[in-house]
């Protein structure tokens, strides 16, 4: 069973079509790069898949659950990191993760062990008792990934997870995401093509609301060092 199945998914704002009859599947355990120019429809697609926005028409399923007809079951399988992590600066990291655990319905008896698990996995144990408002950008991103991982969702959707990070922080976050392969299905939205080449097995490219590429990294690049950049420029040319 595919982790994500999208059929003719469309979102229209009056006379503007944001996404136009999208069709794609993402298999369980894959790390997929979701690419496109600004305004191409990436964020709209992710907001629909995560239940933040309704579609105009079409179908979408997560782990076999229809996101429109069975939204709670679908959302239980999803961890979402928006471009700006939704942190509360007045809470400690531990307090914030406890709050998100409660929102996600993690059983009370398992909250402590679940926080320990995601903190260990994201390397934020030394920061657990610091206020989120004083953390560096790199640690805020790590906390954002940690909250997405709470409840051990099968699917992680990460929107620009390395935005604003310095090179060392970016490398650390990418290694963290790469380590999730097999344990989670990961959809990584980014405009940094080198990141996609470094960790993704498959690439989806969207342009003007339509899927213009959906293939393995090997097929997209053709074995060339600049293959992804060349393909991206070719497919998203005006």
Band the pLDDT of 168: cuts 50, 70, 90.
confident
Mean pLDDT (the chain) is 92
pLDDT over 80 at 49, yes or no: yes
Better-scored residue on pLDDT, 38 or 212: 212
> Span 69-96, mean pLDDT?
93
Specify the pLDDT at position 23: 97
Between helix 93-103 and helix 137-149 the angle, nearest 10°, is 30
Band the pLDDT of 213: cuts 50, 70, 90.
very high
Specify the pLDDT at position 231: 92
> Are the C-beta atoms of 40 and 209 separated by less than 8 Å?
yes
Distances in Å between the Cα of 201 and the Cα atoms of 37, 136, 154, 176, 231 are 20, 30, 17, 16, 16
Specify the pLDDT at position 134: 96
pTM of the prediction? 0.90
Query: Of 1, 28, 6, 25, which Cα lies nearest the Cα of 153?
Result: 28
Query: Of 5, 14, 149, 157, which Cα lies nearest the Cα of 81?
Result: 157
Specify the pLDDT at position 166: 83
Specify the pLDDT at position 73: 93
Specify the pLDDT at position 39: 85
% of the chain beyond a pLDDT of 70: 100
Condensed to tens digits (0 to 9), the pLDDT of residues 125-167 reads 999 999 999 999 889 989 999 999 999 999 999 998 887 788 8
pLDDT over 80 at 201, yes or no: yes
């Amino acid at each position: 069973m595919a982790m994500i199945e999208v059929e003719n998914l469309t979102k229209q704002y009056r006379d503007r079509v944001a996404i136009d009859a999208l069709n794609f599947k993402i298999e369980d355990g894959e790390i997929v790069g979701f690419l496109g120019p600004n305004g191409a429809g990436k964020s709209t697609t992710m907001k629909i898949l995560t239940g933040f926005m309704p579609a105009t028409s079409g179908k979408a399923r997560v782990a076999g659950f229809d996101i429109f007809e069975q939204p709670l079951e679908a959302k239980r399988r999803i961890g979402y990191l928006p471009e700006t992590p939704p942190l509360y600066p007045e809470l400690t990291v531990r307090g914030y993760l406890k709050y998100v655990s409660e929102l996600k319905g993690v059983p009370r008896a398992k909250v402590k062990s679940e926080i320990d698990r995601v903190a260990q996995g994201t390397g934020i144990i030394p920061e657990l008792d610091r206020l989120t408002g004083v953390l560096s950008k790199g640690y805020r991103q790590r906390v954002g990934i940690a909250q997405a991982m709470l409840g051990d969702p099968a699917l992680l959707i990460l929107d620009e997870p390395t935005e604003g990070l310095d090179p060392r922080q970016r490398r650390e976050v990418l290694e963290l995401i790469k380590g999730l392969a097999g344990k989670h299905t990961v959809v990584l939205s980014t405009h940094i093509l080198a990141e996609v080449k470094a960790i993704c097995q498959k690439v989806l490219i969207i342009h003007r609301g339509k899927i213009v590429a959906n293939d393995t990294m090997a097929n997209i690049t053709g074995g060339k060092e600049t293959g992804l950049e060349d393909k991206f420029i070719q497919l998203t040319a005006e």
